[in-house]
């Protein structure tokens, strides 16, 4: 989520989520804190990836009436989120190079770009008064630099004195020069599927409609039934098919329940390419679904990259596959995955086309931004590069000078369950319970009765329940009961002695 302000107008670009780190206990996602954004006139969505639209319902909670400008495909994806949250599904649908006019001086022109989800746009932001234009493309790759959209945008961009490029940094350290185009995958994917005499399971990012279309095309040519497995895979493919992105889809797709499980020619598209805990990919590989047990005639294709942090989860699953004798195919030997983000060569083409005066890399880890700046400096003469981190803003003066400033750092809001915020304190309680287990003690001082329950503790501790009971008894029978807190501290001390750590302990009078 970014905020742009010019000529008295303020608009937001995208409203995305961040996926939690491993140790966040099943937390669904993180959203930006929108409580202090002030007046917002519009929100402009660039494309339908979760890191760009995932928090749209939360944006609506904060801004019920602000118009949402969006391309069609992202609108379809957002409609579901808004409907589930009880909001109206009203959008201002834009098309390539439409003008979104905010004031007499300030206009935004969406610019069609290639990415890994259909209908993705960069934004050309033009402010006549300050003679400044921004080309904002957080997610793109270049399949065709001569596309009419890019050419037209670059032409308009060139009429401004101050020209700022905010481009994707995702692949700055990937080591690859040029991002593959989706078309380049067809050959190898077809070979791998054709070579498989048994069932083929292929996992990919469910939102990667182009990949699904590639597989769809191959299945159609090879006359193999395509089976959709997993909630998100079904949702994205259905949405894409309804919009005409998947040709022949209706003729060849099935649900798992509609095919014979052992049918050798099945090509199953499975969601969960990052091996997430509840995903279809993981369920299948760990035999959780008794109707689908993999065997040595099967092939499992990972048509995706591993997002940093997921390496362990995925290598565990790959080992399980290999123990089972399943043929595992990953990108490398075969061209079966193309990134949706620009590599150096793509960026070079864009810089040569747009000829910016200022470069401010975006969309990437800090080290990627640094690498991007170094790359841009080596490429372009007389440019000003700035490094912009989270919660930093930049301001362009009329003379083209740039000031970077610090914004109030608001922690992201943690979301779990039905889009509900969970406080950090509650999460830290969860962590303590999960790491150390829990002991509950209920006391009735009058009747001298007590009840002890232990959860998540080792047998060595539950075997000592009698000792723990004695400890409680001593406290109850003591001449002067010194309160529940005193007992709690003593139980924890007892645990420390026997376990080496202290479980969460709750002592209450009933």
Shorter beta-carbon distance to Zn ion: residue 205 or 256: 205
Mask for 52-91, x = binds Zn ion (CB under 5 A): ----------------------------------------
Question: What is the full DSSP assignment across 370-399?
Answer: HHHHHHHHHH-SS-EE----TTEEEEE-TT
Hey, which residues between 122 and 141 contact Zn ion (CB under 5 A)? 139
Shorter beta-carbon distance to Zn ion: residue 53 or 326: 53
Shorter beta-carbon distance to Zn ion: residue 147 or 484: 147
Q: How far is the CB of 55 from Zn ion (least distance, A)?
A: 13
231 to 245, 281, 286, 404: CA distances (angstroms):
19, 11, 18, 43
Q: How far is the CB of 156 from Zn ion (least distance, A)?
A: 24
Shorter beta-carbon distance to Zn ion: residue 170 or 213: 170
Q: How far is the CB of 140 from Zn ion (least distance, A)?
A: 9
Q: How far is the CB of 360 from Zn ion (least distance, A)?
A: 16
Beta-bridged to residue 18, according to DSSP, are 30
Cβ proximity of 471 and 510 under 8 Å:
no
- Is 49 a binding residue for Zn ion by CB under 5 A? The answer is yes
Binding window for Zn ion (CB under 5 A); candidates: 41-49, 74-82, 125-133, 447-455: 41-49
Mask for 137-166, x = binds Zn ion (CB under 5 A): --x---------------------------
Q: Considering all CA atoms of the chain, what is the largest pairwise distance in Å, rounded to the nearest integer?
A: 89
Cβ proximity of 10 and 33 under 8 Å:
no
Q: Alpha-carbon distance 123 to 126, whole Å? A: 10
Shorter beta-carbon distance to Zn ion: residue 74 or 487: 74
Q: How far is the CB of 52 from Zn ion (least distance, A)?
A: 6
Shorter beta-carbon distance to Zn ion: residue 326 or 338: 338
Q: What is the dihedral of CA 264, 269, 270, 272, to 10 degrees?
A: 150
Q: Where are the beta strands (DSSP E) in 64-127?
A: 68-70, 92-93, 100-101, 106-113, 120-127
Cβ proximity of 117 and 80 under 8 Å:
no
Tokens of 193: 């599927």
Shorter beta-carbon distance to Zn ion: residue 134 or 441: 134
Exposure on the CB side of residue 139, measured as CA atoms within 13 A: 20
Q: How far is the CB of 363 from Zn ion (least distance, A)?
A: 6
| Torsion sign over Cα 394, 16, 115, 192 | positive
Q: How far is the CB of 88 from Zn ion (least distance, A)?
A: 26
Q: For the chain, what percentages of helix, strand and coil (3-state, to nearest 5) are there?
A: 35, 25, 45
Total residues contacting Zn ion by CB under 5 A comes to 3
Hey, which residues between 317 and 376 contact Zn ion (CB under 5 A)? none
Q: How far is the CB of 37 from Zn ion (least distance, A)?
A: 20
Shorter beta-carbon distance to Zn ion: residue 171 or 196: 171
Instruction: Tell me the three-class secondary structure of 172-224, residue by residue.
Output: CCCCCCCCCCHHHHHHHHHHHHHHCCCCEEEECCCCCHHHHHHHHHHHHHHCC
- Is 51 a binding residue for Zn ion by CB under 5 A? The answer is yes
Q: How far is the CB of 139 from Zn ion (least distance, A)?
A: 3
For residue 488, the Cα-to-chain-centroid distance in whole angstroms is 42
Shorter beta-carbon distance to Zn ion: residue 209 or 380: 209
- Is 50 a binding residue for Zn ion by CB under 5 A? The answer is no
Tokens of 467: 């000792």
Q: How far is the CB of 51 from Zn ion (least distance, A)?
A: 4
Binding window for Zn ion (CB under 5 A); candidates: 44-52, 237-245, 382-390, 398-406: 44-52
Binding window for Zn ion (CB under 5 A); candidates: 48-56, 285-293, 354-362, 395-403: 48-56
Shorter beta-carbon distance to Zn ion: residue 41 or 51: 51
Interface ranges with Zn ion (CB under 5 A): 49, 51, 139
């Amino acid at each position: 989520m970014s905020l742009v302000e010019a000529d008295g107008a303020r608009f937001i670009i995208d409203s995305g989520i961040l996926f939690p780190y491993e140790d966040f206990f099943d937390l669904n996602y993180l959203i930006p804190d929108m409580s202090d954004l002030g007046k917002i006139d519009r929100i402009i969505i660039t494309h339908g990836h979760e890191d760009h639209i995932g928090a749209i319902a939360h944006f609506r909670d904060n801004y019920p009436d602000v118009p949402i400008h969006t391309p069609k495909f992202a609108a379809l994806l957002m409609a579901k989120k808004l409907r589930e949250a009880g909001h109206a599904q009203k959008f201002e649908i834009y098309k390539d190079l439409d003008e979104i006019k905010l004031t007499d001086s300030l206009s935004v022109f969406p610019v069609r770009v290639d990415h890994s989800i259909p209908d993705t746009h960069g934004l050309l932001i033009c402010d006549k008064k300050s003679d400044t234009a921004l080309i904002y493309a957080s997610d793109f790759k270049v399949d065709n630099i001569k596309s009419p959209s890019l050419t037209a945008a670059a032409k308009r961009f060139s009429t401004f004195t101050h020209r700022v490029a905010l481009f994707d940094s995702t692949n700055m350290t990937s080591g690859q020069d040029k991002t593959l185009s989706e078309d380049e995958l067809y050959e190898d994917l077809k070979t791998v599927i054709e070579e498989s005499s048994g069932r083929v399971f292929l996992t990919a990012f469910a939102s990667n409609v182009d990949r699904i279309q590639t597989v769809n095309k191959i299945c159609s040519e090879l006359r193999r039934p395509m089976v959709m497995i997993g909630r998100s895979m079904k949702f994205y493919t259905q949405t894409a098919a309804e919009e005409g992105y998947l040709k022949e889809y209706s003729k060849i797709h099935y649900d798992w329940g509609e095919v014979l499980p052992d049918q050798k020619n099945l090509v199953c598209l499975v969601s969960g390419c990052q091996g997430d805990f509840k995903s279809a990919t993981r369920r299948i590989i760990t035999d959780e679904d008794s109707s689908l047990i993999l065997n040595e005639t099967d092939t499992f294709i990972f048509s995706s990259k591993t997002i940093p942090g997921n390496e362990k989860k995925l290598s565990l699953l790959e080992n399980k596959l290999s123990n089972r004798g399943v043929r595992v195919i990953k990108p490398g030997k075969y061209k079966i995955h193309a990134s949706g983000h620009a590599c150096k060569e793509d960026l070079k083409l864009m810089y040569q086309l747009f000829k910016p005066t200022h470069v401010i890399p975006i969309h990437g880890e800090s080290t990627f931004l640094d690498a991007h700046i170094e790359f841009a400096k080596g490429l372009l003469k007389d440019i000003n590069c700035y490094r912009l981190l989270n919660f930093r803003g930049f301001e362009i003066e009329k003379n083209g000078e740039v000031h970077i400033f610090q914004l109030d750092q608001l922690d992201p809001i943690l979301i779990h369950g039905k889009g509900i915020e969970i406080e950090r304190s509650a999460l830290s309680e969860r962590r303590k319970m999960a790491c150390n287990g829990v002991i509950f003690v209920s006391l009735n001082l009058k009747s001298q009765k007590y009840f002890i329950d232990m959860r998540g503790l080792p047998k060595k501790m539950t075997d000592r329940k009698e000792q723990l009971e004695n400890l409680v008894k001593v406290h109850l029978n003591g001449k002067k009961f010194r309160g529940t807190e005193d007992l709690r501290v003593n139980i924890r001390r007892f645990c420390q002695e026997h376990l080496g750590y202290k479980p969460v302990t709750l002592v209450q009078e009933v």
